[in-house]
Amino acid sequence: MEPFTTLTAVAAPIDRPNLDTDQIVPARFLRRPKDEGYAGILFHDLRFVAPEQEDPGFVLNRPPFRGARILVADRNFAGGSSREAAVWSLVDYGIRCVIAVSFGDIFWENATGSGLLLIRVDEAAAAAWRSQLHARPGATMSVDLERQEVVAPDGTILPFEIEPARKRRLLLGLDDIGLTLRHDAAIRAAAGKDRARRPWLFRHAASPTPLTKPGDAP
């Protein structure tokens, strides 16, 4: 997972409140293997009016916003059903940060494991920033995770809050597997002690081996 430190990028306004996970990734696409990529599915029924025919009115289909890596949304972004694919589609598209008034609880928990930074701001700030982005299509915003600051399109700086554990994982680029692997030595030491204390349980078991990531060579 790519670490998140600082990001300066085009930001796109998403004005629709209560944009739920089914609007982010429609349920009919959920059987798609993750390794096939989810970028083309993001906001599918909002982005397309027919197969491969874009809706020119949708914000991410407008040329100034196509390369957006930051979204500024309204309240209750990604509420609704639990589907990790909602996070995958945003990250696969290139979005690394979503700023909104509030988020769906499950989406909030899923985001960190894929390197997506979520920032809560008050309703006035979110509305003002979306208005600035509409007025200046293609404008950039900056996010500094270490300093916990957002630079708005007009240059104003706003601090934001984030839980220390979530911040650390994003800065280090640790997904759930990476987080576990940081404790590899301790896990193997504990397993070795248990093997020595209760050898009869391991009489026919192979010796413990270091933890590996999926896809690592044997």
pTM equals: 0.83
pLDDT for residue 213 is more than 70: no
List of residues 6+ apart from 153 with CB closer than 8 A: 11, 129, 132, 133, 136, 139, 140, 141
Q: What is the pLDDT of residues 2-48, one digit of tens each?
A: 899 999 999 999 999 999 999 999 999 998 888 899 999 999 999 99
CB–CB of 1/117 below 8 Å?
A: no
Best CA proximity match to 78, nearest among 165, 127, 16, 159: 16
Q: Using CA atoms, how far apart are residues 211 and 142, in angstroms rounded to an integer?
A: 37
Note the pLDDT of residue 217: 52
Q: What is the pLDDT of residues 90-130, one digit of tens each?
A: 999 999 999 999 999 999 999 999 999 999 999 999 999 99
Instruction: Report the CATH fold assignment for 6-173.
Output: Aconitase; domain 4 (3.20.19)
Instruction: Compute CA distances 13 → 24, 127, 166, whole Å.
Output: 15, 9, 25
Length of the chain: 218
197: left (phi over 0), alpha (psi -120 to 50) or beta: alpha
Average pLDDT over residues 73-88: 94
Note the pLDDT of residue 151: 98
Note the pLDDT of residue 218: 46
Domains of the chain, by residue range, sit at 6-173, 183-218
The pairing of strands 117-120 and 140-144 is unpaired
CB–CB of 93/42 below 8 Å?
A: yes
Note the pLDDT of residue 183: 60
pLDDT for residue 210 is more than 60: no
Q: What is the pLDDT of residues 148-202, one digit of tens each?
A: 999 999 999 999 999 999 999 999 987 665 555 556 677 777 777 878 888 888 7
Angle at 74 between CA 98 and CA 37, to 5 degrees: 40
At residue 159, what is the residue type? P
Q: For residue 145, name the pLDDT band (cuts at 50, 70, 90).
A: very high
